[in-house]
Amino acid sequence: MSDLQITPLNALHRALGAKMVPFAGYEMPVQYPLGVMKEHLHCRANAGLFDVSHMGQVILRAPGGYAPVAAAMEGLVPVDMLGLGMMRQRYGMFTDEAGGILDDLMMANRGDHMFVVVNAACKADDIAHMRAHLDGVDVEEITDRALLALQGPASETALSALVPDVAGMRFMDVGIIPSDFGELWISRSGYTGEDGFEISVTEDQAESLARALLDHGDVAPIGLGARDSLRLEAGLCLYGHDIDTTTTPVEASLNWAVQKVRRAGGERAGGFPGATRILDELQTGAARARVGLRPEGRAPMREGTPLYAAAEGGDPVGHVTSGAFGPTLGAPMSMGYVPRDLAAPDTQVFGELRGKRQPVRVAKLPFTQANFKR
């Protein structure tokens, strides 16, 4: 794995007995000795600590402060960035001219600048994309900071023992907070469906902070394996699987991420790549939709499983984009794309597993209830 990059927590992962795997060009922990299932359940019941330092952290600045950055960013995302409150964060996606999704990301209004977090596998392309299209905006990749996620109902207790100010934050708030571990960039967010925080910390303080959090009895380290089953139960998309350049935000059922002001008739309607198609789909619906799927049997239907409208005959009408066993759900779960007329909850479709079509029902997302502190 010599050509892989490592994060500032690599030595800690090894000391904790993690199984390391290559992921998006980084050597990352897929699981710790607890194992995927128990790590998942621990995160939902207590709190889990994730190393997400492979993700890209980027600061966007312009001479006029946040507003001109937000105005420029609205040319790349179908999101209301000018209306985003001070020290608040919002989810969005870079779209392309065909209306497909180049990446999904988090964007924060930090007063005089914007802070964004992008996916590891896309970060080089995203940064080039921003540099090419955000006129008058300085795009600075932050490479000397780790990113930790602390997720689960005990997160606030564990983090506020070290950083008392976080107790006052609510879901999607961001803060720049001095601490014993240097200046922390904290958001009350995550990707598990649980309450929690994402914490950017300088690389030299990252292990100390991680160890201090792990010293809290409720916090266990969680690998990428459980991160995947947690986000899938929470109905959240994984870029490159559930969303990519072949899926539009509307097909991906991410309409909620496109605020009214950016839609047809809105004050700043359109003006982002692929707007014609996306605005049209927002009004009239897309031909297909990303849906939750609950197999009726016990066998998981994994990524790539073809979906059929009937138990016999016909061509595939869609496919599974993510699938696994849901430890909290206690059953297999998948997400995938089906034609609009098959997208209503409880509609039965069929997934082909090992040559046999097995019944599976369209289900509401998320599979497990979110526990955000609103």
Partner 1 sequence: MKFTEEHEWLRVEDDQVVVGITEHASQQLGDVVFVELPEVGTKVTKDDEVVVIESVKAASDILAPIDGEITEVNDTLTDEPGRVNDDPMGDAWFFKMTPSEPSQMDDYMDEAAYKKYVS
Contact residues toward partner 1 (CB under 8 A) are: 31, 35-38, 225, 229, 298-300, 302, 324-325, 327, 332, 354
Nearest partner of 366 among 194, 117, 164, 183, judged by Cα: 194
Q: Report the residue number, 89 or 322, with the smaller CB distance to partner 1.
A: 322
DSSP code, position 108: E
**Residue with Cβ nearer partner 1 (354 or 374):** 354
Closer of 280 and 303 to partner 1 (Cβ): 303
Contact 234, 370 (CB under 8 A): yes
Instruction: Kindly state the smallest distance separating residue 34's Cβ from partner 1, in Å.
Output: 10
Enter the tokens of residue 83: 């209306």
Shortest Å distance, C-beta 233 to partner 1: 12
CB of 223 to partner 1, least distance (A): 11
For the CB of residue 22, give the shortest distance to partner 1 in the complex, in Å: 15
**Beta strand residue intervals within the chain, DSSP E:** 19-23, 26-31, 47-51, 56-61, 88-95, 101-109, 114-118, 138-142, 145-151, 174-179, 182-187, 196-202, 219-221, 288-295, 306-308, 318-326, 331-339, 348-353, 356-363
Nearest Cα residue to 234 out of 197, 195, 192: 192
Nearer to partner 1, 146 or 320 (CB): 320
Closest among 77, 82, 79 to 95, alpha carbons compared: 77
Phi, psi of 119 (to 5 degrees): -70, 145
Is the Cβ of residue 36 or residue 122 nearer to partner 1 in the bound state?
A: 36
Q: How far is the CB of 141 from partner 1 (least distance, A)?
A: 32
CB of 324 to partner 1, least distance (A): 7
The position carrying tokens 């608040």 is 88
| C-beta closer to partner 1: residue 63 or 355 | 355
